[in-house]
Structure formats: C-alpha cells, structure tokens
Structure 1
Amino acid sequence: MRDSIKKAIGETVQDIMNSGFKTSFTEKELNSLGVTIPEVQLSTHQIKEIRETLNVSQTVFAKLLNVSPSSIRQWEQGKRQPTGSTRVLLDLLKRSPNILDYRLKA
C-alpha cells in the first residue's frame, strides 16, 4: 500500500475513533495504519485542579473515583501516580468535569 494512501486511511480511522463511532480494529491494525492511542499524562497540579474544579474534598473525590483518600493525597503530593483506568477517568474529568455528577445524590 502506498504511504500516502496508508496515511489517509490512518487519518480517517483516527477521525472515526475520535468521533465516537464503534470500531473493532485490533492494535496491530491500528499500528499498521499509524493510529496511536496516546498515553495519558497528568501532573500533580492537574490532578488537584480536577478535584478543585469539582469543588470536593479529597475524601469525596476518592469516593467518586472508588480509590482510597490516601491515593488522592499521594497523587496530589507527587508521591504516586494514578494508573490504568483511573488515569483515563481523570483525563475524562479534566475534559468533562460533570461526567460523574450522577454519582452525587442529593
């Protein structure tokens, strides 16, 4: 496959994925098209900023994320970093702070 065609297909696939359409590409297929899933990077300041945007304490934030309050403290102090799906969830909260509003019941 010519590089220009491969690049165009890769960009189209990336656009499809970014738009929210369901896809069933394998990692190998995505790699062959040059489509990458970037790693989520969050600084200690960003994690604290996400929590403050939600206007909740560390304890409440921990309950929303289903982690220990100690984890929140350690993330905000830079002693540890969130991992896996928690990192992705924090990135989603950074982009859409109201995403977990349903978890707060009045």
Structure 2
Amino acid sequence: MDKEMEQFQKDLLDSVRQMKAGKGARKTQVALSPIAEARSRLGMSQSELADLMGVSTRTLQDWEQGRRKPTGAAQTLLRVAIAHPEALLDLKAA
C-alpha cells in the first residue's frame, strides 16, 4: 500500500476515535455582520426587517453578506438599528 493511502487510513481512524470520544476535530464559528446581529436582537426575519425598511429581502441579504453597502437613509436607519434596536421596534409597532 502506498504512503498516501496509509496516511489516509490513519487520519480516518484518528477521526473516528475523536468522534467516539466526543471530541470534534474543529469548530467553525460564523461571525454575524452588524446588520444581521441587529436584526437578530430585534427578533425579526430578513423579510420583516426588509419590509420595515422599504427594501427587498434580497437587498437586505446582500447588505448582511457584504455584497452591497447601504446608502443614504437606509444607512442611517441601519446605524440606528445597530445602536438602538428598540427604536426600530417602536417603528414596527406604529
């Protein structure tokens, strides 16, 4: 058997042992964008926040994922949402 296959088998066995011992090989953490974090604190879905802001859900998704940057009034409203999420809840209730 060649060395590459032997190494693969060894790594596979090590992985199985770690799984059985309850040890994960690595953890992946995903950092939320400030916009997604504010939305989460508001307890809103992407579509709910997009409706509140008067933009499409796709636009909000693009902001959250860094593909686009909000401009003008949307940028100001997002700064308020990040700093004072309760203010947006007041808007939603009105």
When the two structures are superposed, what TM-score results if normalisation uses the length of structure 1?
0.53
CA RMSD of aligned residues (A): 1.8
Confirm whether residue 94 of structure 1 aligns to residue 44 of structure 2: no
Looking at structure 1, the residues matched to 92 and 81 of structure 2 have their Cα atoms a distance apart, in angstroms, of 14
Q: Which residue does 2:92 correspond to in 1? A: 104
2:44 paired residue among 24, 45, 56: 56
* Amino acid paired to 2:65: Q
Letter in 2 for 1:80: R
SS at match of 1:56: coil
Name the SS for the 2:76 alignment partner: helix
Give structure 1 stretches of 5+ with no counterpart. 1-43
For the pair shown, which has the larger CA radius of gyration, 1 or 2? Answer: 2
Whole-angstrom distance in 2 between the partners of 1:54 and 1:101: 7
User: Counterparts in 2 of 1:35-50, with a 5 A limit?
Assistant: 45-50=33-38
Instruction: Look up the match of 1:24.
Output: none
Structure with bigger helix share is: 2
Q: What's the counterpart of residue 66 of structure 1?
A: 54
Q: Which amino acid aligns with 1:54?
A: L
Identity, % of aligned pairs? 35
TM-score after normalising by structure 2? 0.60
